[in-house]
Amino acid sequence: MSGNSYQLLEIGSIKRAHGLMGDVLVKLVTNRFERLDPGSSLSADERNLIVVSSSPHQDNWIVHFQGVDTKDAADELRGLKLMAPPIHDSDELWVHELMGASVREVDGTYRGTVVAVLSNPASDLLELDSGSLIPLTFVVKFTEGLILVDAPTGLFDLGN
């Protein structure tokens, strides 16, 4: 396998069985609820699971998968991570695509390589090998392997 075409992303996990008819309780780690639309195909521990139905339940989702029709069958899925390929929207950035990318300012100044993406309530942050933290709000362009940022004057001087 090469490139990101086979990259799967974790979208949630199966917490436990729900009821006696094979439903499971799923905790999503994405805000893309369409991942649980009927007919959606998800991977879990080398299994392919097809969503038959889903509905929100408190902070989770009750999901019924094709062929999982008993509590015992649902219990076998407990703890599995649900994976799916990325949904490619032109204005979305994915962590796995940002990792290892070079970061340059709009004037061409090289600022480092992305080593981590940190979750932050205001804006996720790019952590560079130089130690700099850059809010994603300053990213103006992303192409594979290169991130262009329009950072305010002095951002890269913080902490020095």
CA geometry: angle 52, 89, 113, nearest 5 deg = 120
**CB-count exposure of residue 5 (10 Å: 0-12, 13-18, 19+):** exposed
- Supply the pLDDT for residue 98: 86
Residue 103, domain CATH: 2.30.30.240
Asked whether residue 89 is domain-assigned, the answer is: no
Rounded CA gap, 134 and 35, in Å?
30
Mean confidence (pLDDT) of the chain:
87
Say whether both 66 and 117 belong to one domain.
no
Which is more confidently placed, 58 or 122?
A: 58
CA geometry: angle 152, 155, 157, nearest 5 deg = 140
- Supply the pLDDT for residue 110: 94
Q: How confident is the model at residue 4 (pLDDT cuts 50, 70, 90)?
A: very low
Rounded to two decimals, the pTM is 0.57
Asked whether residue 4 is domain-assigned, the answer is: no
Domain that holds residue 114: 95-157
Say whether both 77 and 13 belong to one domain.
yes
- Supply the pLDDT for residue 6: 56
* For the chain, percent of residues with pLDDT exceeding 70: 90
Task: From 84, 114, 140, give the residue that closes a domain.
Answer: 84
Owner of token pair 């981590």: 116
Q: How confident is the model at residue 135 (pLDDT cuts 50, 70, 90)?
A: confident
Task: From 84, 107, 130, give the residue that closes a domain.
Answer: 84
State the alpha helices, DSSP H only, in the chain: 71-75, 95-98
- Supply the pLDDT for residue 159: 58
| Beta carbons within 8 Å of 89's beta carbon, 6+ residues apart | none
State mean pLDDT over 58-62: 95
Rounded CA gap, 42 and 79, in Å?
15
Question: For residue 2, is pLDDT > 50?
Answer: no
Rounded CA gap, 36 and 78, in Å?
17
- Contact call for residues 96 and 144 (beta carbons, < 8 A): no
- Supply the pLDDT for residue 141: 86
Say whether both 78 and 100 belong to one domain.
no
- Supply the pLDDT for residue 91: 63
State mean pLDDT over 104-130: 90
Say whether both 36 and 71 belong to one domain.
yes
Asked whether residue 90 is domain-assigned, the answer is: no
Structural domain total, the chain: 2
Q: Which two tokens stand for residue 80?
A: 């599995």
Say whether both 77 and 34 belong to one domain.
yes
Residue 62, domain CATH: 2.40.30.60
